[in-house]
Structure 1
Amino acid sequence: MSVRDAFMRGLARQLGHPAGLRGRVVARSLNKGNLAPVLAAVEATGALPGQQVADIGFGGGVGLQPLLDRVSPGGHVHGVDIAETMLDAARKRYSSEVASGSLTLEAGDLTALPLPDHSLDALITTNTIYFVEDVSRAFREMARVLKPGGRAVIGCADPDFMTNLPFTQHGFRIRPITEVVELIRGAGLTFLEDRPVDHGNHAFHLLVAESPA
């Protein structure tokens, strides 16, 4: 394996499961690059003050504060991530919110969410489904935890754009948007729209779905 391939493999691993110092550096970089789509995903939830919402696979945590602002006062945000490094960083950054009870941070992944049935008014998950083998199960989990009428916003980059990135050759599962939409429907969610972030052929996709009322 070449040095370049080894670097790209390591980068791909950190993007999927950030760990240690390198993971924290990658997460800071992602926070900058992902800010616009994450803010758009929060907006697309339509969440209101007093509601229960979640950021699943929150990574560097850039979506947590906008969700807290969105549901304040009286609401609650659940942050779920598979990486202990990201959970530790979020616990330090949001220690007052955790202490006040407005934010809960828990370990978990998309296919086994640590949340009760029908407990959320809305959830977001951005740039996560590339790392999930059984994405149908992940969407069924989203359907399980959403209240009737609750909204899921699933963010993913354009598949053609992703395919051309050098690190996505190492373990990323890149699916056509049409396939992802059908899997969302197959999980029992009502697909509402594919909302682009930015313009052009490679716009970021926000796939907005709703649990049947």
Structure 2
Amino acid sequence: MSIRARLLSTIAGQLGNPHGTLGKGVAFMLNRSNHRAIAGAVEATGVTAGATVADIGFGGGAGLSLLLERVGANGSVHGFEISPDMLSRARSRFAGEIGTGRLQLAEGPMTGLPLADNALDAAITVNTMYFVPNLDAACTELVRIVRTGGSLVVGIGDPDAMAKMPFTAYGFTLRPVAEVIAALERAGCTVDHQQLANPPIPHHLLVARPA
């Protein structure tokens, strides 16, 4: 493997599972570059104060902050991550919110989340679907934890734009937007397809509502 290929593979691996010293920089970058997309996903949930919500694959933690603000003092937020380093970082950053019970963090893959059926009013997952081997299993699990009539917002970068980024050739699965919508529909949702122009690339928000 060439030096360039090793570098791109390292970048791709960090984006899927930030860790170590490099992961700290990746976390900062994720919060900055994904902020508009994450904020759009939070807004698209439509949740109000007092709701119970989750960010699945929260990475740098920007979504946790936005959801905590959105649901207020009487709401609750769950955060799930596969990266132990990102979990440790979030536990330190949000120690106060964890102490009051407003925020609960746990390690959990998207196909096996430690929550009861219908536990949430809403959930978001942004820029995570590229790393899921089994799309149907992931969508089924995400829908399972959101109550009927609630909202699940899946954010993905435009696959054509993503394909132009050299690191996505290493470990990313860039699925057509229609394929992700179809998987959400098979899991029992209606789906509203929204688009954001440049956060920093064209982004798709799939607002799924379990029927």
Same fold (TM over 0.5): yes
State the partner residue of 2:98: 98
- For each residue in 1:166-207, what CA deviation from the matched residue of structure 2 results, as whole angstroms up to 9, or x when unmatched? 10001100000011111110111111x21111269x520001
Structure 1: runs of 5+ lacking an equivalent: none
Secondary structure of the structure 2 residue equivalent to 1:73: coil
State the partner residue of 2:207: 208
Shift of 1:30: 1.1
State the partner residue of 1:55: 55
Q: Contact 2:80/2:107 (CA < 8 Å) preserved in 1? A: yes
Structure 2: runs of 5+ lacking an equivalent: none
- Between the two proteins, the alignment pairs up a number of residues equal to 210
Secondary structure of the structure 1 residue equivalent to 2:23: helix
Matched, 1:121 2:121: yes
Q: Quote the Cα distance in structure 2 between the aligned partners of 1:45 and 1:147.
A: 13
Q: Quote the Cα distance in structure 2 between the aligned partners of 1:84 and 1:91.
A: 10
Secondary structure of the structure 1 residue equivalent to 2:34: helix
Q: Contact 2:98/2:104 (CA < 8 Å) preserved in 1? A: yes
State the partner residue of 2:140: 140
Matched, 1:173 2:165: no
Matched, 1:107 2:107: yes
Amino acid at match of 1:44: A
Report the aligned-residue RMSD: 1.2
Secondary structure of the structure 1 residue equivalent to 2:116: coil
Amino acid at match of 1:6: R
State the partner residue of 1:130: 130
Q: Quote the Cα distance in structure 1 between the aligned partners of 2:111 and 2:81.
A: 12
Consecutive aligned runs of 4 or more in structure 1 exceeding 3 Å deviation: none
Shift of 1:148: 1.2
Secondary structure of the structure 2 residue equivalent to 1:114: coil
TM-score (norm. length: structure 2): 0.97
Amino acid at match of 2:103: L
Q: Quote the Cα distance in structure 2 between the aligned partners of 1:211 and 1:55.
A: 17
Q: Quote the Cα distance in structure 2 between the aligned partners of 1:150 and 1:92.
A: 30
Q: Contact 2:73/2:102 (CA < 8 Å) preserved in 1? A: no
Secondary structure of the structure 2 residue equivalent to 1:118: coil
TM-score (norm. length: structure 1): 0.96
Q: Quote the Cα distance in structure 2 between the aligned partners of 1:49 and 1:105.
A: 20
Structure 1 residues 150 and 167: CA distance shift in structure 2, 3 A: same
State the partner residue of 1:150: 150
